[in-house]
Each structure stands twice: as structure tokens, then as C-alpha cells.
Structure 1
């Protein structure tokens, strides 16, 4: 996981910047990908890792906003939500949760209170139910395709990896794949937090991702710099080295 000290490099070299990067607060930034899609990057202190930058996705169309993952705590989620509503003049209507860790869903209860529809894989919902966490309203087993203000959104569960429940989200018109923590950045030297990982399934799942979304032009990991399909291959190499 990249620490706060490395964030500036990630921010300015991680994705093509179509406009100036937006600082919302000391805890969260937006980095534009195109005219209606942003990377949201937030910071949280994780025990054993220090201050870590975590990635999420924001899509705004026709005054409506879709989020993929929340920041890792509620106060930062509120900062992001308030900026979207007040400065970008968009209503947050949809949240997709990548897996059950805090850096994906810590802000979900707040967003649900605001009337945001929440979506996750059924495995995520089951884990949350068993551990007393908030559950999404909408669930899917293998795949969920839906229309967001005229744009297609493809959510897939292709197998375990970083966690047993991790999903990926694909925007086919923009060829953007949000891999989340299933995918490691090129600067990653190891797999990071593997406490809840399915190391046996992980390489098989990455292989499925590669075959399912071969046209991806931008691949976004859960932490660190975005890139192309080379992130998938790098993640596979890290898994091979981990086994050794």
C-alpha cells in the first residue's frame, strides 16, 4: 500500500489529468480521468501500514453521481459526499462496494441514510451479515449489468483473491476497469495485506479478469498508481513470488 509520502507521485503520474487535480481536504482528492469520470483518493491511518492512500471511482452524468467504494472512514466519506453535492452539483444515487474491508465500505451506512442505493456481491453481503456490518440493498452472485444515466456498468464476481468476496467494476464505453484490491499497482513489491486473502484462487481470478476484460485501457488498483493491463500481469508475478 502506498503511504502518504508517496501520494504526490501517484497523483500526478497515475492517470492522465484532463484538468487540475482537486483537493477536497487533507484527507481526500479527486483526479479527473475524463469529463465525467474521476478517481477519488483518500487517506486513512491503517495499523501496521501507516497513512495509506486508497482509490475509488466517481462517475457523474446528468446531475447524478455513482461511486465505486467509499473512503475508509465516515468523516472522509462525508467530505467527499458534500463536495459532490455542493461543488459538482450532483446527487449521489448509487454506491458499488468492492469487498467488505473498511477501505471499500466504511462510509456506506452514511450514504444509505442519504438515500443512496448500495450494491455489492452476495458474498460481501453474507460476510457483512455474519459480522454485524451494514449490508447493501442490492446484491448479485456472478454478474450485474445496469444502466447509469445512459452508460453501461458491468459488475463481476470472478473469484476470490485479496478477499474471498472481491468484485471488479467495468465501464465498457470508457474501457475503465476498477480492479480494486484484487489488482496491485506496478510500484507494489508484495501483495500487501493478505490476512483475508484466498491465495489459491487469486491467480485464477486474475486470469479470468484478463480474459473477460481484454479491452481495458485504464486499470485502477485499490491502492497506488493506475495503468493498463500490465497491472494484471504484475499482480500475477507478485503471487508467483509470494509462493516462492
Structure 2
């Protein structure tokens, strides 16, 4: 798999912007200057805070070319919870191995944020290692319908899991990118994983084949109300940033088109 130069230059420029955003906000005591701690042809892992990492893998698409796809790793003590698999089993195996042998942690669970391939394409690798997988019941229904690998454990509206002596939260706020999309939240560091429901700054609307554009802004407004002081927001594609990503996404779909 080869990276397109367009994606490489875009990633570099967005990373520099992210460093600037982090550096300009002294209140983010837990957030660090992002550091790439692992990189291969198929997987990049970036440290975002003391206990939070970004994993980025790549999906080859007909309409958008080679697309970088994000997930979140939350660590506490010797345990890890992951939001979204990588895009395939090979890179998910890389991710699992890095966590086990470099971080020295046990992967307690993986939570998929919606039914698309960029979020659960590597689920079989997690099942091979007997790692529990969780998803909104709507995600499980849609994954079965579309013939994708299916997470094992279902929840309806919200899920709270322990990771070490902290917790992570997964919650459904309504439709947007898909009918089933959820977000992940790490309260102790006030970091939100928005998945494909949340857009990076200056992004276009992207793939809308399963979207509910009428409700999208309303869903994100509910998220903003729930997490008013969020330190960092991670989108499904592109560069993390401040709560401006929530405002940008709301405005992008404000008129339901």
C-alpha cells in the first residue's frame, strides 16, 4: 500500500496546526505535543496525552483515494480500551502487538463506533485474541445486514467500561454520518473520540451514502452540550483539535443538506 503525496502533505500540515492548537491552550495539562511513537506502512500510532493515543490506518477507496482512518487508544495502569479497529486484520494485529509488547498492556476491549469498514475492518484480529468487542445494537444489526464482521456485545444507548482505575464511556446521541454512530469519551483527560460523526477543520462532507444530514447538526449539538469543557476532539479522519471541530461540524450540516 502506498501513501499518496497529497495525503502525506495534508497530514504534515494538519499535524503542525494541531501542535499550534495544543501549545496555545495552557489549560490542557494532560495533553502533550503529539509524538509519533510507532510507524509502519499500514499503521501510525501517535501519543496525544499521558494515557491517550491516536491510531491511524489506511483504507483504499474508489471515490476518495487512500483515506487515513483514526481510532483512539485509552490506557490506564496495565489495561487498554480501543475505540475502533484499524481498517484490516493485518494492521489490527500490528496494533494489538504494539500494545502488548511495547506498552506492556492487556487489551481489555474494543468498541466500534459504527458499522463501516474503516471502523470494524480489523475486528477478526481482535476476536482471534479473544478480546471482547462492543457496539451499539444498531451497529450490530447493520454489520450483519451488510455482511461485515459483527461485534460480540451489544448496548443500546450508553456503555461504561473500566480501564485500570479509570473509566471510558461510549454513548449514542443520534444519527449523523450513519444511523448508528456513537462517540467515545475519556473523562479523566476530557478527550472525545468523535469518529466519523465529527469532521476535522476545513473538511468537506465526505461520504453521505448512509448519512442523515437532517439530524447530523442536532446530534453534534447534543454532544457539545454533554461535554462543554472537552480538552481534545478526535475526528474519524484527519487531525484532532479543540471543540472547534464540534462547531465546524454543526455549521457544515446546519441546513440539513
Structures share a fold, TM > 0.5? Answer: yes
Trace 1:175-186 onto structure 2 (pairs within 5 A).
175-186=190-201
Partner of 2:213: 199
How far residue 230 of structure 1 moved from its aligned partner, in angstroms, is: 1.1
Q: Look up the match of 2:224.
A: 210
Alignment match of 2:70 (pick from 37, 55, 62) = 55
- Which of 153, 158, 176 is residue 173 of structure 2 equivalent to? 158
SS at match of 1:33: strand
Instruction: Kindly indicate whether the alpha-carbon contact (under 8 Å) linking 2:117 and 2:148 is maintained by their aligned counterparts in 1.
Output: no
1:82-116 deviations in whole A, cap 9, x for unaligned? 22222222222210101001111111111011011
Q: Post-superposition shift, 1:18?
A: 4.4
Query: Residue 74 of structure 2 contacts residue 82 of structure 2 at CA under 8 Å; is this kept in 1?
Result: yes
Partner of residue 89 from structure 1, selected from 93, 104, 110: 104
Structure 1 Cα separation of the partners of residues 63 and 75 of structure 2: 35
SS of the residue corresponding to residue 30 of structure 1 reads strand
Quick one: distance in 2 between partners of 1:65 and 1:159?
A: 27
With the length of structure 1 as denominator, give the TM-score of the two structures.
0.92
1:8 aligns with one of 4, 7, 12:
12
For the 8 Å contact 1:180–1:222, the answer to whether it is kept is yes
Aligned partner (choices 129, 133, 151) of residue 114 of structure 1:
129
Counting matched residue pairs gives 241
- Any conservation in 2 of the 1:37–1:60 contact (CA below 8 Å)? yes
| Structure 2: runs of 5+ lacking an equivalent | 1-5, 23-31
Partners of 2:78 and 2:141 in 1: CA distance = 33
How has the CA–CA distance of structure 1 residues 99 and 7 changed in structure 2, closer, same or farther, with 3 Å as cutoff? same
Does 2:30 align with 1:26?
A: no
CA separation of 1:167 and 1:50: change in aligned 2, threshold 3 A: same
The normalised TM-score by structure 2 is 0.87
- 1:159: Cα distance to partner? 0.6
**Residue deviations 1:20-48 (CA, integer Å, cap 9, x gap):** 41233022111111222111112222221
Q: Where in structure 1 do 4 or more consecutive aligned residues deviate above 6 Å? A: none
